[in-house]
């Protein structure tokens, strides 16, 4: 499964030229995830040629401005660009009460559903899962409630060297089972294991 990580910004709370606030884009197996959303993140998507509208989930570590002030603008930009794909927002329990009033006051009625997932103080709590990754949250020490995230990729199709497999007596159906990560008897007296 291919993985691509793009640092859109890693700056601190004080803005500097050419040093953008925190935002990282992770692409895994055709899915996209954003970690934090500092100011100007939608512009950074454009600069890198990334397709922000394809983002499946956004995980916010905490509600300091350099990690979250770009989120209302990003959500609004995606709305104006015609996004309809559902979006999961993961973050501190207060994230929804931070975002909803800004969208309502600006009369930005999103045409795509947002599912909010509040992180708890339980270390290792699963907060998101799809076909590509499972995301777990971990509370971190900071001046306000903060969470770190661990993403674990889902098992994908294994790559099989067909020539070597055939030379070892493998058949097409065996190779397919191995690609899928299945164990078990394939022929009397033989077992396929990955």
Give the residue numbers annotated as catalytic, written as ranges. 66
Q: 92 in helix, strand or coil?
A: coil
Of the candidates 13, 30, 31, 74, the residue with the CA atom closest to the CA atom of residue 22: 13
Q: How far apart are the C-alpha atoms of 45 and 142, rounded to whole Å? A: 28
Q: Which two tokens stand for residue 30?
A: 């055709």
- 128 in Cβ contact with 117 (< 8 Å): yes
- 102 in Cβ contact with 116 (< 8 Å): no
């Amino acid at each position: 499964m291919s993985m691509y990580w793009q640092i859109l910004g890693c700056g601190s709370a004080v803005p500097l030229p050419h040093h953008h606030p925190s935002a990282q884009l992770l692409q895994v197996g055709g899915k996209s995830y954003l970690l934090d959303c500092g100011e100007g993140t939608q512009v950074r998507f454009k600069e890198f040629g990334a397709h922000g509208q394809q983002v499946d989930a956004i995980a916010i570590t905490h509600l300091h401005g350099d990690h979250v002030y770009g989120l209302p603008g990003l959500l609004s930009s995606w709305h104006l660009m015609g996004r309809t794909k559902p979006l999961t927002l993961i973050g501190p329990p207060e994230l929804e009460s931070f975002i909803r009033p800004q969208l309502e006051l600006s009369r930005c009625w999103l045409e795509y559903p947002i599912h909010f997932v509040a992180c708890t103080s339980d270390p290792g709590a699963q907060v998101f899962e799809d076909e590509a990754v499972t995301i777990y949250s971990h509370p971190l020490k900071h001046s306000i409630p903060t969470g770190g995230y661990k993403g674990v990729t889902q098992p994908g199709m294994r790559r099989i060297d067909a020539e070597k497999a055939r030379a070892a007596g493998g058949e097409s159906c065996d190779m397919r089972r191995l690609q899928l990560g299945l164990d078990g008897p394939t022929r009397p007296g033989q077992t396929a294991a990955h």
